[in-house]
Every structure is written in C-alpha cells, then in structure tokens.
Amino acid sequence: MKAWLLTEDAPLSTVLADGTRETDRVAPAGHWVVENPGGERYAVEPEKFEAGYEASGEPGVFSPKGRIRAVENPTGRPVRINAPWGEPQYGAVDCAFACTVGPDGSLDLANPYIIGRAELQQTYSEETAPTAGELPPTRLAAGQAEALP
C-alpha cells in the first residue's frame, strides 16, 4: 500500500471499492494517509502508523505488519458506527467490523472500525479462524453499530 505524511490539515474522504462513502473528515498534519490497493484512503496517527506499517524498500510503499480480527456484518443491512476518530463511519451490507490484534493476541475492542469486503481481501490474508465457541465476546464498545434502513 502507498502512504504519505501530511504536512498540513487536509480534507479526506474514504470511499470503498464498492462506492460506499465510508467517512469524511479533516486529517490533521502529522498523520499518515494510507491508500490501499483498491484506492481506499484513510488517515493514521503517527504512533499507530509506526507500529502498524513497515517500509517495503520502494519509496512511499508500505506493508501492514499487524493483524486484525474481522467479523462479518450480522445485520443484513448497511450500518453506521461512531468511529474511534469521532466521525460517523458507514459500511455496506457485506462489510465487516474490525479491531486490531495486539502482539500478545489481545483485541483492541475500544477502537472498532468498519472495513469493506474488497478492502479486507486486498489488504489482509486470512488465517484459520478458531471455532465460534473459542471467540471472545464481540462488542463495539465506543461505537455501537446502527443498522440503516
């Protein structure tokens, strides 16, 4: 994926491969803008960028070095959450709810976000998932999902 550091505040719209307008916000100077292979762009705080991405050797190209836990949208409808960065985030019927997985296997349930199906498939490889009985309870903490009509 491509990434660049913002030197000034900049408006940023995140539009998914399926055309869903996921979020609109002003990304602050000092944040990184990450562009996934499908064209989705989003801002990442400097600390999270350093912890979550590594340089590929090609200027401006990075690879994610972390893991996420993603759960398919169970509502059967488009959804909206209040994203960790304080803005509404929208997802299509086939989106997933995600959170980062720490090096120790802990889930960052306090900062859930939505990821589109195409973006999930383009950015992350699938690991063998534990059976449903082994998964910890899933909750959206700060941003409860709201199914949209």
* E strand or H helix at 64: strand 62-64
pLDDT for residue 31:
97
From residue 28, give the alpha-carbon distance in Å to each of 5, 46, 89, 102.
10, 10, 18, 25
> Using CA atoms, how far apart are residues 10 and 6, in angstroms rounded to an integer?
8
Average predicted confidence (pLDDT) for the chain: 84
Evaluate if residue 127 carries a pLDDT over 90: no
Q: Whole-model pTM?
A: 0.71
116: buried, middle or exposed (CB in 10 Å: 19+, 13-18, 0-12)?
A: buried
Confidence at residue 146, expressed as pLDDT on a 0 to 100 scale: 60
